[in-house]
Amino acid sequence: MRYELCTPHQLRQAQAENLPLVLALGVQEYHGEHLPLGVDLLAVTRCLDRLEAEAPDRMVILPSFAYGAASHAVAGAESFTLHLPTQAFQPLAEALFAALLKAGFRNIHGVIHHQTENFAQGMPTDLTFRLAARNAVFAHLEATRGPGWWGAKGMETYYEAHAQGENPFNWVQIHPLMPPEVAEHFPFDHAGEGETALMLALAPETVEQARMAENDTWYTASAPRASAAQGEAGVAIILAHLKGLLGL
């Protein structure tokens, strides 16, 4: 279900069932001459499209966030990479999560593919959304339970409840599309064999294979090895991971 297409009674039912509310996070970044600027976003949105087709009533998909701190580490501004400093979108992310919490959602997930090989320590875009999520939850808890809510009488079972999954800080979570347990079975790269294969499977209309010869960068050298079949195998692994993550 798409949030913007849902009627209020559909969202009330989604809340009653605690269905996952999913936000695709991406950036616009140079991925060689053969791939589109939106690879990192498309990898997430097209995977969510497939999950929705399999289980159309088991999750709600929010409109995507298509911009972020892409950085110019790969190529400069002339490459059409759109880099936004984190301070430009951190307030928006926090306000969005605050609004969703206020609306009553408690099973919110952001999924990102950009620079997630370092997800354990974090990179600017995912760290910004993770901080926004934490700030929004803290603010919501204080607003609804009052200052000192954690130290108040009656919270003695906080750690026991935490261990059983009753953790308010799980209300908003940010995840990599390809965590280590996925990446160990499929090439994780930038515009090389792995991402080219993913696009051949998920968005073949965006891949210009004839332009691979125009690439003169080290990170695209493996791209000609990619195939749609390889990409489909990778997508299957990703979808299995997402299903487990979202409880589908």
Pairwise CA distance, residues 54 & 167, whole Å: 29
Per-residue pLDDT of the chain (248 residues; tens, 9 = 90+): 999 999 999 999 999 999 999 999 999 999 999 999 999 999 999 999 999 999 989 999 999 999 999 999 999 999 999 999 999 999 999 999 999 999 999 999 999 999 999 899 999 999 999 999 999 999 999 999 999 888 888 878 878 777 666 789 999 999 999 999 999 999 999 999 999 999 999 999 999 999 999 999 999 999 999 999 999 999 999 999 999 999 99
CATH of 3-186 given 3.65.10.10, 3.40.50.410, 3.30.200.20, 3.40.50.10310: 3.40.50.10310
Residue 185: other Cβ atoms inside 10 A: 13
pTM above 0.85, yes or no: yes
Considering only CA atoms, give the Rg of the chain.
19
Indicate the SS3 state at residue 125.
helix
Pairwise CA distance, residues 22 & 62, whole Å: 6
Say if residues 19 and 3 touch (Cβ distance below 8 Å).
Answer: no
Q: What is the 3-state secondary structure (H, E, C) of 21-36?
A: EEEEECCECCCCCCCC
- Residue for token digits 């991406």? 26
Residue 151: predicted pLDDT: 83
Pairwise CA distance, residues 5 & 192, whole Å: 36
Residue 8: predicted pLDDT: 98
Q: How do the domains of the chain map onto residue ranges?
A: 3-186
- Residue for token digits 């990179």? 123
